[in-house]
A and B are shown apart, each in its own frame.
Chain A
Amino acid sequence: MSNEPVVPNTAAVGTSPEPAPIEQRLEYGEPLTPDQVFAIPQFEGFSRGKLEKNPGTIVRRVFEPGELLCREGEFGSTAFLIESGTAEVYLQAQMGAVKKQRRGGFFHRLKQVLTRTPEPERGAAPRRFIPIDAPIDLDQDRPIAELGVGDLFGEMACLSFYPRSATVRAKTRVVVIEMLRNILIELQKNAKFRAVLEEKYRARALDQHLAGVPLLQGLSREFVDQLRPKVKLLRFDPGQPIFKEGDAADGFFLVRIGFVKVAKQWPGGEMILSYLPRGSCFGEMALLSNAPRTASCSALDHVEVVKVESSDFEAMVAQFPEVRARLETLAAERAAQNATLAQRGVSVDLEQFLSQGLMQAQNLLLLDLDRCTRCDECVHGCANAHGGVTRLIRDGLRFDNYLVATTCRTCRDPLCMVGCPVGSIRRKESLEIVIEDWCIGCSLCAKQCPYGNISMVDLASGNNAAASGAPAHASASATAQPSGVTSSRAVAKPKSKATTCDLCMDHGEPACVASCPHDAAHRVDPLKFFEERLFTLQKSGSPSIAPPPSPGPR
């Protein structure tokens, strides 16, 4: 929201985020007295002492139709409870603005036939719903929804200081209760409020979350209806374990709020398998095989999960054999993926490797500097494959006679995935990191990548409507707009989108490697590639890793 205190995310990545310093009073709106607060049904039973100790931390605000309550990508520190009126929640970000290939005539079509690269399809994304910080998710094809009386939104932004995940605009005259973190935490402890919250979740978001789980897609209404009363919401504080590797399986989980860290113990330390955002599921493997948990899951920040008890789940799956078959297939795929990761992680343990961050990488772009003529064909090839926007910089650290180019390394611990307010950055089964079209351009992932390998692309200079000189509202209207939009309305203008190397999985071979005429560019698994070289170097007594020559392009 534009008129609230902007709080940068100073949380330490990969650890429990420490609350950033915030103003203890809300600047705008009418501060509520304890009596006024108790008059609100949701606050029945709330601690009077808390309210008296923290005056000004809860206010009532009124928004006229068309006014923005909060804007996607901006940092916030408050949550909103709608007291009356209706608000629209939507994404302003342009879909496909970065990935889209250039359109053309005959040659473009011929190229598409030859390269077998069809136009990006919405349905190709694994999730139909975009997770946002509200009691409802947005449909990917039409990312607009309505929030009504009693809806609480902005919880993740308030609790963990993540950027706002969507833009909220008053559709009618809206009265909201805006609160700071201490009030929200207290409110969440209120049993009555939680009961209402759970009921709302069951009614509105559970279907969407289940539909977003790949193996549960296409579930019958009967299945969901049977599941609905059996779920329960659990809260976890930052760092608190949800379950540990080796524990007996007792349930299946869906993430409602926050990020869940999935890790596994390996010789040499813990390896992060994934960070699961809102809408993700976990714990299904152990349910199927009756085996102990294969990985540990813990709360990275303030997490709320929906738990389905294994006894309930078993009984339900027994009634639906097609669901069971799909679960078994997924369990086999996950097991194979974890086995691949394990194989990669145990072979080399070199201190220097760790200091350079190379141990973290699963796939490095290396340029053989004895062969590289610095012609930048790799950069051009990358740009050509990605609509004119390159995803690599031919600069970085040197190892022996190799340059470790600045491009995604598909890290074992993908810190970039932590905190994405709309869950648009994720890891595919083939381990590459992808950023989905619904990125809102908050740049959190780019800030969190320790190697500077995620770039923010200014849409104004990219191949999109804004670049062609169309007015801002025209370019925005080509994307997600609520019904009845007029150009005079105040809209959030998308500024940029995050891009990172996707290993050109759609092209067979990375374009940078295929484009190098000097056989200097290689995409390698560093553990395998450097293991041999380090062995050779150590035998010959020469230094294994050169110090970084420069911090990169200045």
Chain B
Amino acid sequence: MRVDRQQRPWLIGCSLALLLATACWWQARSNPLDLLTGGSAWGLCFGIAAAACMLIAIALTLRKKLSTWPLGKARHWMAGHVWLGVLTLPLVLFHGDFEFGGTLTRWLMALFFVSWASGVFGLALQHWLPRMMTEQIARETIYEQIDHVVDLLRAEARALVEKHCGPLDAPDGPRTGTAPLRDFYVAQVQPYLAAARPKKSPFDQRSTAPMQRAHLKRLVSAELHDAVDDLFDVCDERRQIEQQRRLHHWLHGWLFVHVPVSWAVVAMTFWHALRALHYT
């Protein structure tokens, strides 16, 4: 989700809620007769508000599962997830008056911080990376299709070289004047395209590839220049696809931390609430 002008109502609403909560917390802790703890009246209010925010935030998962139910637009749920999730941190801190309590609550707080921080980290990634991906990867494909596209690129490059140089495994070698192209393909292009995660190759950097291309063109006749361009285009597409894979992993990898930790936080919050009620 991009944090932009459209989020202004949420920003204003959450800022007001934070101001109100801060005023209440200040009022509560300045009362010498009633110590602010998780079990005090104000502490409970903060705890219940924080738990409610957590539940609304986690309900985004249900909204995604029940996509055809008339539960409102997913973007509103996502905005609620983000802003109420952010608001949960001060509410939780006010709930315990910045004290983390015993072992269970310390673990709960630790997990909550991980969940909150990973969420904010993911929000930042989702704000910047889509635009970066759009700008850097003109030949983007569907993520699940990447391996298939790479296979096609391999086949395309090999067919291109064999068309001009003859079969790669021909006993009498390449056609006259095409040896540099074939050698370059065998030494550089083939390993680059064959690698599952190609790195440390001239094609891996956009800046070094043009030098390689110019060098190879000097070695071959003018008739093969188009073939050289085509070969480098294939490699550039491979480079872009690998870059897409990397960005995609950044874009979604944080969810492997955020989602399970968040569910653990919700489960421990319930356990924490039950124990608190039991001992009250």
Contacts and interface: CB of A to CB of B under 8 A. Distances in A.
Interface residues of A, number: 36
Contacts, number: 99
A285 B131 CA distance: 51
A395 B141 contact: yes
B133 A369 contact: yes
B74 interface: yes
B67 A554 contact: no
A509 B74 CA distance: 12
B74 A515 contact: yes
Contact of B152 (A371, A516, A554): A554
Interface string A366-395: 000111111101001100110000000111
Nearest to B125: A373
Given A516-B74, A518-B126, A111 B68 contact: yes
Chain A contact residues: helix, strand, loop or mixed: loop
A507 B68 contact: yes
B78 A550 contact: no
Given A114-B69, A516-B75, A553 B64 contact: no
B176 interface: no
Interface stretch (B25-33, B142-150, B179-187): B142-150
A373 B130 contact: yes
A372 B129 CA distance: 10
A381 B75 CA distance: 13
A398 B68 CA distance: 28
B139 A549 contact: yes
Contact of A370 (B64, B131, B142, B252): B131
Given A507-B68, A518-B75, A549-B138, A554 B60 contact: no
A372 B142 contact: no
Contacts of A111: 66, 68-69
Interface string B146-189: 00110010000000000000000000000000000000000000
Interface of A: 111, 114-115, 117, 369-375, 377, 380-381, 384-385, 393-395, 398, 401, 507-509, 511, 514-519, 546, 549-550, 553-554
B143 A374 contact: yes
Interface residues on B, range: 35 or more
Contacts of A514: 67, 73-74
Interface in B98-146: 126, 129-131, 133-134, 138-143, 145
A99 to B, nearest CB: 13
A394 B142 contact: yes
B251 interface: yes
Given A511-B67, A515-B67, A553-B145, A373 B74 contact: no
A546 to B, nearest CB: 8
B77 A517 contact: yes
22 contacts: A115-B70, A117-B68, A369-B131, A370-B2, A370-B130, A370-B131, A372-B130, A373-B1, A373-B251, A374-B143, A380-B67, A385-B67, A395-B142, A401-B131, A514-B73, A515-B74, A519-B1, A549-B139, A549-B140, A550-B139, A553-B145, A553-B148
Nearest to A504: B68
A385 B75 contact: no
A374 B152 CA distance: 22
Interface string B64-92: 10111110011101100000000000000
B68 A519 contact: no
Nearest to A116: B70
Nearest to B63: A517
A111 B69 CA distance: 7
A554 B148 contact: yes
B280 interface: no
Given A374-B248, A384-B68, A553 B142 contact: yes
Interface in B223-252: 237, 248, 251-252
Chain B contact residues: helix, strand, loop or mixed: helix
B122 to A, nearest CB: 9
Contacts of B152: 554
B6 interface: yes
A393 B2 CA distance: 23
A398 B69 CA distance: 31
Please list the 10 inter-chain residue pairs (A to B) with the smallest Cβ-Cβ separation, ordered nearest first.
A517-B78, A369-B134, A519-B75, A517-B74, A381-B67, A370-B131, A549-B138, A515-B67, A384-B67, A553-B145
A115 B69 contact: yes
Given A111-B69, A517-B75, A550-B139, A371 B64 contact: no
A377 B64 contact: yes
Contacts of A509: 73
Contact of A374 (B73, B77, B149, B251): B251
Contacts of B131: 369-370, 401
A508 B140 CA distance: 32
Nearest to B73: A514
A546 B138 CA distance: 10
Contacts of B1: 371, 373, 517-519
A181 B189 CA distance: 56
Contacts of B78: 517-518
A514 to B, nearest CB: 6
A369 B64 contact: no
B68 A550 contact: no
Contacts of B140: 549-550
A111 B149 CA distance: 40
A550 to B, nearest CB: 5
A222 B152 CA distance: 67
Which residue, A393, A398, A515, A517, has most C-beta atoms of chain B within 10 A? A517
Nearest to A552: B141
Which residue, B74, B129, B145, has most C-beta atoms of chain A within 10 A? B74
Contacts of A511: 67-68
B72 to A, nearest CB: 9
B126 A373 contact: yes
Contacts of B252: 373-375
A370 B139 CA distance: 16
A395 to B, nearest CB: 5
B159 to A, nearest CB: 14
Given A370-B134, A373-B129, 6 more contacts: A370-B2, A377-B64, A507-B68, A518-B126, A519-B1, A519-B6
A369 B138 CA distance: 11
Contacts of B142: 393-395, 553
A144 to B, nearest CB: 35
A395 B142 CA distance: 7
Nearest to A402: B134
A36 B6 CA distance: 81
A220 B141 CA distance: 58
A550 B191 CA distance: 24
Contacts of A369: 130-131, 133-134
Contacts of A516: 74-75
A391 to B, nearest CB: 14
Interface in B39-80: 60, 64, 66-70, 73-75, 77-78
A64 B64 CA distance: 56
Contacts of B126: 373, 518
